Amino acid sequence: MKMNIIKKGIADSLQNVGHYGHQHIGVQVGGYMDFLSAQLANKILGNDLHQNVYELHFPASHFEFEENGFIAITGANFIPVINEKSISMHKVVTIKKGDILQFMQPIQGRIAYMAMSTNTEKISVIETSFVEDINNYLFTPAPIRFIPGPAWNDLEPLSIQTLLHQTFQTTLQSNRMGFQLEGPTLSTIEKKSYLSSGVTRGTMQLLPNGQIIILMADHQTIGGYPNLGQIILVDLPRLAQMVHQTPIHFRLCNVSTAHEQYQFIQTPFTN
Amino acid sequence: MILNENDINQQWHMHLLGDHAIVFSLKEKMDLKINMEVHALNQFIQSKNINAFKDFIPAYYTLTIVYDIIELQKLLHNKKIVSLNEFVQALIKEFIQFKKENTSFELATKNIKVPVCYDANLGIDLEKIAKEKNTTIEDIIQIHCARKYRVFCLGFMPGFAYMGEVDKKIQVGRHLKPRPLVHAGSVGIAGAQTGIYPKDAPGGWQIIGRTPMNIFDPINLALFAPGDMVSFYAITLAEFNSMKKM
């Protein structure tokens, strides 16, 4: 769908599932931060699930459409308006050539997604309960689940208790590469250095100052900080949507539960 | 879990990294033989064209494989394999068998000579390192240029090669707080490692010089590959500037 960006947002980009296959030469995967909202936007328009979507951070870009078509906006609510009239989120919105889309104010969440289409025939009605389920899942506070990583047992016993029972929060040092958290200081039993090895999205690294950084979509491929654990894939969209100073509680999880949860959440999208 | 023992007396371990990656590892050590094994396993598994495996990240002593959860479940189901553990154990067994039958595995390696300007304006940490190591800037340059370094792996950012080992006489730790901006071409050291920043980026390595060479571009991709042998030679600031213009 043809459109002009008439005012550029701070961190907007076109995203899809990411580019795999080049991490061995250090090329990041990228892709959307919140795969649930991104897929939902495409699903509403009947698009291929992994078609490019606009990932929007506030203040978001202003768009002028150059042809008729359809959009769907999901994820964070920035109060989207077309020609200064508010429009519904999670619905097919009809666009006419010359329409101007703006985002007024961040009300909920950190990242919005916009899917686009010029094809009416593919659009089929999706159940409102499906949309509600996803939004409840994304925005209702609940612990962030993780699977212990290689350096988990290097943590002091007290730090393990701290990580499992105390509150952490998101900080302004959060972007597409990683979210730096603020919380009680954690420490390892001995100050050893680790030889760098592969990391992936959701890796929880312990920084030299005792704070945690969680690697997100544009993460580096190899890292040398102690790897405390991995946030499970289905909880990364919830983390990605947390605005500045959102409290976070961590909870232990295992691989088979994580796989079941992933299948459970992905199945309705592919039906 | 210990998977097996192979002919150079190294043991492969396997653990899962979260819910979407598998890590094969040998002894945690910057070692040529260990690293060669990692790359051999990487090539072997890649040659199997397993659809569920989306990305391979060979590092010093580990091979991390990123997989697609749904594809992997399908694969296990189709092959009637009970668990992921069983699947990867079989892979390692096959690899060890393959190694027995094909004794010589070698990476195609290049010799690369890298010009570096060690001018204090570019090698911004030289003075500090000289003080810390109680030596002179000239000695640091001479020591850094005296060795050939092996590329162990690529990572951190596109085209960044982790090379080693740096002479103990000039080994220094990372900056406690990373610099917000390290310029493209900057040559850094960190512990036993040396490397070149392919583009402007934040970074914590100690910077001793800068190369005019292009390390990564979107068309030719990475200049370095694992196994390459790299040596550095000193150039003047004038030479740096004229090479930069070419």
- CB of B201 less than 8 A from some CB of A: no
Q: Are residues B134 and B237 in the same domain?
A: yes
Domain edge (last residue) among B37, B69, B101:
B101
Q: Are residues B78 and B135 in the same domain?
A: no
Q: Closest residue of B to A29, CA-based?
A: B55
- Cβ within 8 Å, pair A232-B19: yes
ipTM passes above 0.90: yes
Domain edge (last residue) among B101, B121, B148:
B101
The rounded mean pLDDT for chain A is 95
Domain at B172, CATH number: 2.40.100.10
Q: Are residues B207 and B241 in the same domain?
A: yes
Q: Provide the pLDDT for residue B192.
A: 93
Q: Are residues B94 and B120 in the same domain?
A: no
Structural domains present in chain A: 3-139 (2.60.120), 144-270 (2.40.100.10)
For A112-128, what is the mean pLDDT?
Answer: 87
For A178-197, what is the mean pLDDT?
Answer: 93
Q: Provide the pLDDT for residue B8.
A: 43
Q: Are residues B45 and B14 in the same domain?
A: yes
| pLDDT at position A51 over 80 | yes
Q: Are residues B61 and B133 in the same domain?
A: no
Which domain range does residue B59 map to?
2-101
3-state secondary structure chain B: CEEEECCCCCEEEEEEECCCEEEEECCCCCCHHHHHHHHHHHHHHHHCCCCCEEEEEECCCEEEEEECHHHHHHHHHHCCCCCHHHHHHHHHHHHHHHHHHCCCCCCCCCEEEEEEECCCCCCCCHHHHHHHCCCCHHHHHHHHHHCCEEEEEECCCCCCEEEECCCHHHCCCCCCCCEEEECCCEEEEECCEEEECCCCEEECCEEEEECCCCCEECCCEECCCCCCEEEEEEECHHHHHHHHHC
Q: Closest residue of A to B177, CA-based?
A: A208
Residue whose C-alpha is closest to residue A224's, from B72, B160, B136, B9: B160
Residues in chain B where the model's pLDDT stays below 70? 1-10, 103-105
Q: Are residues B204 and B91 in the same domain?
A: no
- Cβ within 8 Å, pair A28-B19: no
Domain at B9, CATH number: 3.30.1360.40
Please answer whether residues B187 and B208 qualify as being in contact, where contact means their C-beta atoms are separated by less than 8 angstroms. yes
- Cβ within 8 Å, pair A21-B61: no
Query: Is there a domain that residue B141 lies in?
Result: yes
- CB of B204 less than 8 A from some CB of A: no
**Tokens coding B93:** 């067994």
Q: Are residues B27 and B136 in the same domain?
A: no
Q: Are residues B120 and B241 in the same domain?
A: yes
Q: Are residues B139 and B229 in the same domain?
A: yes
Query: Is there a domain that residue B106 lies in?
Result: no
Domain edge (last residue) among B44, B78, B101:
B101
| pLDDT at position A160 over 70 | yes
Q: Does the model's pTM come out above 0.95?
A: no
**Torsion angles phi and psi, residue A38, rounded to 5:** -65, -45
pLDDT in tens, A12-28: 999 999 999 899 999 99
Q: Provide the pLDDT for residue B1.
A: 44
Report chain B residues whose CB lies below 8 A from the CB of A229. 18
Q: Are residues B121 and B66 in the same domain?
A: no
**Number of domains composing chain B:** 2
Q: Provide the pLDDT for residue B104.
A: 66
Q: Are residues B90 and B209 in the same domain?
A: no
Report chain A residues whose CB lies below 8 A from the CB of B55. 20-24, 29
Strands B111-117 and B229-235: parallel
